[in-house]
Structure 1
Amino acid sequence: MKISVIIPVYNRPQMVKRAIESVLAQTEAAHEILVINDGSTDETPRILEKFGTRITVVNQPHKGVSAARNTGIRLARGEWIALLDSDDEWLPEKLAMAREFHESHPQYLIFQSQEIWIRHGKRVNPKKKHQKYGGWIFRQSLPLCIVSPSAVVIHQSVFKKVGLFDENFPVCEDYDLWLRVARLFPIGLDSRPGIVKYGGHEDQLSRKYWGMDYYRVLAIEKHLKENNLPPDLRQAALEEVLKKLQVLISGYQKRGRRNFQLEEKWRRYREQLISLKENL
């Protein structure tokens, strides 16, 4: 099982050092480690140089995490892809666990492990809404992202079928991709933790953007535009997009503003949902 590891990084010298070291410390070695330096302007390039030939560094102008991951996926020589965000780290058995899970569940072309969460230096338990599921999980993936990039291992053929990360999404790019994947592939779940996921630091993308549901709406709309979306999944998608639109509309109202485009979308999707239920 040849696994290419892809680590995108932008201005995170100490974090990416920890991430890379966690891959080098694996009990089973990766096929290759591609670190995509997305135009870092601090000491990150010097930190990467210290690893020498143990990693392959690819430098590109700053384009965002989606473009960095896509660069790595295109260059990867392994049959399988394992993503690792620069602010997370793997437990030493992560790649060995991936091989074992694949051998026991060869039907999955994409699978993920459980994870340990650290927030502000302390271990915390994920909330119920973050619960991971295995199998056909499109419906469960609609509320929010329940597939972690750092926990997932993906066969190259999956990207050929669904495409890469959408580089127009500054956030929720993973939510968008996993929805596309979950439509067409079952996603396996290894009940063992394979990663340590860190949060609470200042440069997290989720802390920089208000109204992330706007991008989740755009992701769901991709599926609503498709004629072959099964009626039960269409109903679930419509119900979820209405919830997210209402959250956004309420957010504007609390700020003393209105967004007529979002309000019109809400009315249109509500009419579609009513019509769908009448015809079921």
Structure 2
Amino acid sequence: MPDISIVIVTRNRVEALIQTLNTLLQLPEQPPIFVVDNQSTDDTVVRVRTLFPEVTLLALPENCGAAARNRGVAATQTPYVAFCDDDSYWAPRALTKAVAYFEAYPRVALLAGKVLVGPEHTLDPVCEALASSPLAPLVRMPGPAILGFLACGAIIRKTAFEAVGGFEQCFGIGGEEELLAVDLVTKGWGLTYVDDLIGYHFPAESRNPDRRMQVQTRNTLWFYSLRRPWPRVAGQWLRTGLHAVADANARKGWLEAFKRIPEIWAQRRVVPPGIEEQIRLLD
């Protein structure tokens, strides 16, 4: 039994997914691959089952967004799980290195790899920020301590991931990583950036940047409301509201967040002061 699996979430992007699966199946580690389909309306389910019988396909009856990864992780039988998007994949031997890091650092829950974007292999700006993180490590780890990551470039310890509930159900896809990162650190786990774990990302031009900005705006407001002290919550809602006066995407995100605020506040658990101090360093 391998030590690590791959989980991919997809929706209506079968051509990109086929390319990704063809690449992942060539990895020397030969990890089990789980594809979680978020209620695609194209022929994703039929084509994956026909072309890739060795891949486990979970066809969801509804679009669960980022939380679909929780279903994929639950289906795996390995202690570690690497995430991919349907347009991203890991370099050969990256998963082998990840397993070695997890075994050597038992309090690390998540490894964030170096994500190279497009045919030019440009370093993702998020990785630049992770590499220069000012946070002090709270546990022993092989790289800088972080409080965020790119989901398509993350590898997780299954027990830690499931202990905090995985990705929040209502966040969809877009800025969903921050809440998970904070919850893991709050439980005493370490998250770190390791630049010799290489992943490649080929984001599609067809993505909807306006909708993505709306979701990220909404999720930021929800994150503050779920975990930050009240003065920080009020400040973020005010800043976003002022920005929304002139920005339609911010306005739509603000309104979406506001409509479900009683439900969000019912789940509110403010982080301890030490974790809040770390978050402020990044603010």
- Whether TM exceeds 0.5 here: the answer is yes
Q: Tell whether the 8 Å contact from 2:160 to 2:184 is kept in structure 1 after alignment.
A: yes
Return the alpha-carbon distance in structure 2 between the equivalents of residues 212 and 132 of structure 1.
19
Residue 19 of structure 1 corresponds to 20
Secondary structure, aligned partner of 2:57: strand
Q: How does 1:141-152 map to 2 (within 5 A)?
A: 141=147, 146-152=148-154
User: Root-mean-square deviation (CA), in Å?
Assistant: 3.5
How many residue pairs match? The answer is 245
Residue 196 of structure 2 corresponds to 192
Return the alpha-carbon distance in structure 2 between the equivalents of residues 208 and 110 of structure 1.
24
C-alpha displacement of 1:82 = 1.6
Pick from 213, 220, 224: which aligns with 1:220?
A: 224
C-alpha displacement of 1:163 = 1.0
Return the alpha-carbon distance in structure 2 between the equivalents of residues 66 and 53 of structure 1.
24
Residue 253 of structure 1 corresponds to 245
Instruction: Mark the CA change 1:62 to 1:152 in structure 2 (over 3 Å): closer, same or farther.
Output: same
C-alpha displacement of 1:61 = 1.7
Secondary structure, aligned partner of 1:115: strand
Instruction: Mark the CA change 1:197 to 1:72 in structure 2 (over 3 Å): closer, same or farther.
Output: same
C-alpha displacement of 1:130 = 5.0
Secondary structure, aligned partner of 1:4: strand
Return the alpha-carbon distance in structure 2 between the equivalents of residues 94 and 207 of structure 1.
32
Instruction: Mark the CA change 1:46 to 1:117 in structure 2 (over 3 Å): closer, same or farther.
Output: same
Q: Tell whether the 8 Å contact from 2:146 to 2:193 is kept in structure 1 after alignment.
A: no
Residue 6 of structure 1 corresponds to 7
Greater CA deviation, 179-188 or 243-252?
A: 243-252
Instruction: Mark the CA change 1:248 to 1:140 in structure 2 (over 3 Å): closer, same or farther.
Output: farther
Pick from 144, 165, 168: which aligns with 1:166?
A: 168
Amino acid at match of 2:207: D
Instruction: Mark the CA change 1:255 to 1:81 in structure 2 (over 3 Å): closer, same or farther.
Output: closer
Q: Tell whether the 8 Å contact from 2:151 to 2:177 is kept in structure 1 after alignment.
A: yes
Amino acid at match of 1:40: S
Residue 271 of structure 1 corresponds to none
CA deviation string 1:117-146 (max 9, x = no partner): 22xx54434337851157459x963xxxx3
Unpaired runs of at least 5, structure 2 = 140-144, 262-275, 277-283
Return the alpha-carbon distance in structure 2 between the equivalents of residues 29 and 206 of structure 1.
37
Return the alpha-carbon distance in structure 2 between the equivalents of residues 213 and 157 of structure 1.
30
Taking every aligned residue pair, what percent have the same amino acid on both sides?
A: 16
Secondary structure, aligned partner of 2:190: coil
Matched, 1:132 2:133: no
Secondary structure, aligned partner of 1:62: coil
Instruction: Mark the CA change 1:195 to 1:67 in structure 2 (over 3 Å): closer, same or farther.
Output: same
Instruction: Mark the CA change 1:56 to 1:222 in structure 2 (over 3 Å): closer, same or farther.
Output: same
Instruction: Mark the CA change 1:77 to 1:129 in structure 2 (over 3 Å): closer, same or farther.
Output: closer
Q: Tell whether the 8 Å contact from 2:115 to 2:123 is kept in structure 1 after alignment.
A: no
Instruction: Mark the CA change 1:8 to 1:128 in structure 2 (over 3 Å): closer, same or farther.
Output: closer
C-alpha displacement of 1:103 = 3.9
CA deviation string 1:126-185 (max 9, x = no partner): 337851157459x963xxxx3121222212221332112111112322222222223231
Larger of the two Rg values belongs to structure:
1
C-alpha displacement of 1:53 = 2.9
Return the alpha-carbon distance in structure 1 between the equivalents of residues 93 and 128 of structure 2.
23
Return the alpha-carbon distance in structure 2 between the equivalents of residues 54 and 222 of structure 1.
40
Q: Tell whether the 8 Å contact from 1:28 to 1:96 is kept in structure 2 after alignment.
A: yes
Return the alpha-carbon distance in structure 1 between the equivalents of residues 28 and 106 of structure 2.
22
C-alpha displacement of 1:205 = 6.9
Instruction: Mark the CA change 1:106 to 1:76 in structure 2 (over 3 Å): closer, same or farther.
Output: same
Unpaired runs of at least 5, structure 1 = 225-233, 266-275
Q: Tell whether the 8 Å contact from 1:213 to 1:244 is kept in structure 2 after alignment.
A: no
Instruction: Mark the CA change 1:109 to 1:193 in structure 2 (over 3 Å): closer, same or farther.
Output: closer
Return the alpha-carbon distance in structure 1 between the equivalents of residues 86 and 23 of structure 2.
11
Q: Tell whether the 8 Å contact from 2:114 to 2:127 is kept in structure 1 after alignment.
A: no
